[in-house]
């Protein structure tokens, strides 16, 4: 258990940061889920709109440090590939 005042403060900061990061990650996953639902529905227009929103939210998570830069880029790339595949079909 933390004994020093600095260690106790660090624990409080970590708890607050964890709560914020959890909310950000949840928000990001919600946008990704909406894109997935648009893909399964097969509507290219809705999927395109959902992709733009999901990409924006992913890059925001990258900027906030919730997700690593390369992870965000990889996810966006894969989402875009799936969108192109739907548009081509």
Question: In angstroms, what is the C-alpha Rg of the chain?
Answer: 18
Which tokens is 17 given?
């940061």
Q: What pLDDT tens digit does each residue of the chain (89 aa) get?
A: 778 999 999 999 999 999 999 999 999 999 999 999 999 999 899 999 999 999 999 999 999 999 999 999 999 999 999 999 998 87
Whether the pTM exceeds 0.75: the reply is yes
Domain residue ranges in the chain: 5-88
Task: Say which DSSP state 4 is in.
Answer: S
9, 13, 35 from 30: Cα distances, Å: 32, 26, 9
CATH number for region 5-88: 1.20.58.110
């Amino acid at each position: 258990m933390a004994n020093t005042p600095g260690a106790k403060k660090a624990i409080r900061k970590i708890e607050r940061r964890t709560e914020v990061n959890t909310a950000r990650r949840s928000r990001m996953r919600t946008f990704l889920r909406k894109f997935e639902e648009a893909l399964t529905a097969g509507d290219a227009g809705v999927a395109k709109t959902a992709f733009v929103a999901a990409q924006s939210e992913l890059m925001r998570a990258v900027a906030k440090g919730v997700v690593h830069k390369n992870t965000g880029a990889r996810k966006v790339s894969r989402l875009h590939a799936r969108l192109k595949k739907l548009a081509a079909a």
